[in-house]
Amino acid sequence: ALKNVAPLRKELGVKTFFNMLGPLVNPARPRLQLVGVFSLELARLYAYLHQQEADREFLIVHSLDGYDEVSLTGPVKLISRHGEELLSPAGLGLPMTTPEALFGGDTVAEAAQIFLRVLRNEAPAAHRNAVLANAALALRTAGRAADAAEGLALAAESLDSGRARQAFEKLLSLN
């Protein structure tokens, strides 16, 4: 049902109730979930709601400058069942970047091309590093990495070896 309001949300160009509701009503009810949110208050509310389900492992991500992901433009607040932490780009072993360097294009097609360039190891460092940072935290949340540094190494190896691209191509072939 939420997919029907997506065009309206995009046309409005502002955050709506549906931006907040979407991750909470996932019909798959994932046991492991990394969720990015645009406000710290919303991050804490999501954490409270996720904690109500004992079998769920989660990580709520909020970049303090308003991004709903790890942007590497500044510190990011991470909230999990185990508490809160503030992580800087340097804490991930990555350089800080600018919003301009992260620009994802004006259209979905341009954003898709950037994504494909990341998978082909042809993207600018800012795009690659942002993908690595988010993947590192996803791997940590899933228990595939003991910490963000290990997750970063695993994510970089997956991109560098071409395994991430191969997995994406396999996913596309299932459609």
Q: What is the pLDDT of residue 52?
A: 85
Q: Would residue 157 count as lying in a domain?
A: yes
Here the CATH number for the domain that contains residue 163 is: 3.40.1030.10
Residue 18 lies in a domain: no
What digits encode the pLDDT tens for the residues 87-134? 999 999 999 999 999 999 999 999 999 999 999 999 999 999 999 999
pLDDT digits (tens, 9 = 90+) for 38-92: 999 999 998 988 888 888 899 999 999 999 999 999 999 999 999 999 999 999 9
pLDDT score of 116:
97
Within-domain flag for 13: no
Instruction: Give the total number of structural domains in the chain.
Output: 1
User: Which range of residues forms the domain containing residue 160?
Assistant: 31-173
d(CA 83, CA 68) in angstroms, rounded, equals 19
Mean pLDDT of 126-143: 97
Q: Which candidate, 154, 110, 117, places its Cα nearest to that of 136?
A: 154
Residue 11 maps to a domain: no
Which pTM was predicted?
0.84
